[in-house]
């Protein structure tokens, strides 16, 4: 990851990481997506089981996820520093999962991330 961060401009690395997250959602969240049966609220509840129900809430048409820690096994297993753009992977994961359940594209904004200095990650 450090080599990618040195080799690619930040915006390009962010796009690459988003695509990685989208692929990861198909691999690791497929059962959550299927179990939601088209209900974004059900998927939000499933995410809440991992991040805590207080960290997975709906406010009108907006869904808010707050990660109390980084759940990426590649981040926790590594010792080398990784670029902040790596967090776009998590955004891509959420984007793909909720788009699949909604049956249409959704927008996901990464408000803050642990890797970028926040106490928790918010999208």
The pLDDT tens digits of the residues spanning 79-91 come to 667 778 888 999 9
Mean pLDDT across 73-81: 71
Percent of the chain surpassing pLDDT 70: 91
SS3 content of the chain, % helix, strand, coil (to 5): 60, 10, 30
The CA angle 25-14-71, to the nearest 5 degrees, is 45
Residue 5 has pLDDT above 90, yes or no: no
CA 82, 54, 38, 93: dihedral to nearest 10 degrees? 0
* Bridge partners, residue 66, by sequence: 122
Structure pTM? Answer: 0.87
Query: What pLDDT, on the 0 to 100 scale, is given for residue 113?
Result: 82
Mean pLDDT score of the chain: 88
Q: How confident is the model at residue 120 (pLDDT cuts 50, 70, 90)?
A: low
* Bridge partners, residue 67, by sequence: 121
pLDDT in tens, 103-118: 999 999 998 887 777 7
Burial letters 32-45, b for 16+ CB under 10 A, else e: bbeebeeebeebbb
- From 13-17, 18-22, 75-79, 106-110, the region with the lowest mean pLDDT: 75-79
- From 43-47, 94-98, 108-112, the region with the lowest mean pLDDT: 108-112
Q: How far apart are CA 76 and CA 72, in angstroms?
A: 6
For residue 28, give the nearest of 16, 46, 1 by alpha carbon.
Answer: 46
């Amino acid at each position: 990851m450090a080599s990618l961060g040195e080799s690619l401009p930040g915006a390009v690395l962010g796009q690459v990481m988003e695509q990685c997250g989208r692929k990861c959602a198909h691999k690791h969240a497929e059962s959550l997506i299927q179990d939601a049966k088209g209900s974004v609220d059900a998927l939000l509840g499933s995410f809440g089981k991992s991040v805590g129900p207080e960290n997975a809430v709906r406010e009108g048409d907006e869904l808010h996820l707050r990660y109390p820690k980084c759940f990426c096994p590649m981040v926790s297993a590594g010792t080398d520093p990784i670029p902040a753009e790596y967090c776009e992977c998590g955004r891509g994961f959420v984007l793909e999962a909720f788009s699949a359940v909604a049956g249409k594209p959704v927008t996901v904004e990464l408000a803050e991330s642990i890797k970028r200095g926040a106490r928790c990650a918010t999208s």
